[in-house]
Amino acid sequence: MAPRDVVVVGGSAGSFAPLREMAAALPRDLPGSVLVTMHIGEHARSHLPSLLSRAGPLPAAHARTGERLRPGRVYVAPPGCHLLVPGGVVELSHGPPVNRCRPAVDVTLASAARWFGDRVVAVVLSGMLDDGAVGAALVTQAGGLVLVQEPGDAAQSSMPAAALAAVPGALAVLAQKLGETVSGMLGETGLVTWPRPPPREPADVRMAGPEDRGDLQFLPPGETRLTRLACPGCGRALTEVALVQVTFFRCHAGHQFGPQSLAAARAESVEAKLRTAVAALEKTAALARHLAGHDRTGEDLTDQRTTATDRATRLAESLRAQVRPTPEA
């Protein structure tokens, strides 16, 4: 029986501080590999590996396709790429966004659960919405362990709280204790202190990799249900997938959403359409103003101009009143 030797850490807004604390507490001879997936803009420049290398004794670098996982190293998902580990070898994927993110925490957790099973320790840190909840459930089904940053200790509690809801038996830990706790779960001694949970039949969920065709053919029929909901990313129909304690949605193009992420994506889509409507009304008013000076039929365009202007103004004011900037924006 192989000891636990794969740690997957995921987070978003407010997660750098606890991640740095965790990195500082991990020992130089850690008997496992650490995979880190953080939400970051696809075109951003990430200095996370160098920051983590300075924070603790383990060397950190952006993961590169083809390199094999080695103990005592930290592999960071680069901007714009999902991090997968088929057979213990890094694979970077430009597959569809999951929970509106690329890289996404769910993708790395699902890949680790599929290929390493009960050798995985998952850690979900501070962040908004629910990325990481499905992945945490898959890790548990595969026999791995799940830790979350104590929601009350997190700058943004949504991600750890969602993971706790998906995995009621997950361990909630303060940021300052994460490194020590994770270290104690790895290796042969970790199996004595933290015995493996009873095995369950894991769901074979493949996300964002070359085997993922979006059709969910690898899941039992009873776990999926076609809905009348449209994907906010592409407009295709969404399929609802019900696992133990957690539900997610995905379309045939491979876009995937947890319930909170789907609601947020739909709200953004509706807002974008409303802003398009404001622009169309403003153009209608501008056209009426322009034609008023050229019209020789005697038709008065004032009412049309006034109506369009009033509607655009009311709609724009309503949008401004409803918009609430978030820390992840």
CA distance linking residue 209 with residue 268, whole number of Å: 26
CA–CA dist 326, 264 (Å, integer) = 11
pLDDT of residue 164: 97
Residue 58: partners with Cβ closer than 8 Å, 6 or more residues away: 23, 26, 28, 30, 34, 52, 72, 73, 74
Residue 216: pLDDT band with limits 50, 70, 90: low
Write the CA distances from 314 to 155, 219, 273, integer angstroms.
Answer: 36, 48, 15
pLDDT given for residue 282 in this prediction: 84
Among 147, 134, 193, smallest CA distance to 8 is for 147
Using CB atoms within 10 A of its CB, is residue 111 exposed (0-12), middle (13-18) or buried (19+)? buried
Nearest of 104, 101, 102, 83 to residue 92 by alpha carbon: 83
More reliable by pLDDT, 168 or 278: 168
Q: Residue 159 in contact with residue 125, Cβ under 8 Å?
A: yes
Higher pLDDT, 275 or 240: 240
List 93's β-bridge partners, or say none. 82
The mean per-residue pLDDT over the stretch 201-210 comes to: 70
**Span 300-322, pLDDT tens digits:** 677 777 888 888 788 788 877 76
Which residues are marked as active site? 12, 39, 131
Q: What is the predicted pLDDT for the residue at 92?
A: 96
Report cis status (omega within 30 of 0) of the bond before 103: yes
Q: For every residue of the chain, which 3-state class applies, written as one string? A: CCCECEEEEEECCCCHHHHHHHHHHCCCCCCCEEEEEECCCCCCCCCHHHHHHHHCCCCEEECCCCCECCCCCEEECCCCCEEECHHHECEEECCCCECCECCCHHHHHHHHHHHHHHHEEEEECCCCCCCCHHHHHHHHHCCCEEEEECHHHCCCCHHHHHHHHHCCCCEEECHHHHHHHHHHHCHHHHHHHCCCCCCCCCCCCCCCCCCCCCCCCCCCHHHEEEEEEECCCCCCEEEEEEECCEEEEECCCCCEECHHHHHHHHHHHHHHHHHHHHHHHHHHHHHHHHHHCCCCCCCCCHHHHHHHHHHHHHHHHHHHHHCCCCCCC
Question: In the predicted model, what is the mean pLDDT of residues 234-258?
Answer: 88
CB 26 within 8 A of CB 179: yes
Q: Which residue type does 135 have?
A: G
Tokens of 61: 């670098």
User: What pLDDT is attached to residue 326?
Assistant: 46
What does the pLDDT look like over 80-129, one tens digit per residue? 999 999 999 999 999 999 999 999 999 999 999 999 999 999 999 999 99
Q: Is the domain covering 6-193 a CATH 3.40.50.180 domain?
A: yes
Taking only the tens place, the pLDDT of each residue in 250-299 is 888 889 999 999 999 988 877 778 888 888 888 888 888 877 766 655 46
- Which residues is 146 bridged to in the sheet? 122
Q: How many CA atoms lie within 13 A of 163 on its CB side?
A: 35
The CA distance from 12 to 59, in Å, is: 22
Evaluate if residue 65 carries a pLDDT over 60: yes
Query: Is residue 141 within 8 Å of 169, Cβ to Cβ?
Result: no
Specify the pLDDT at position 268: 83
Domain ranges of the chain: 6-193, 261-322
pTM to 2 decimal places: 0.84
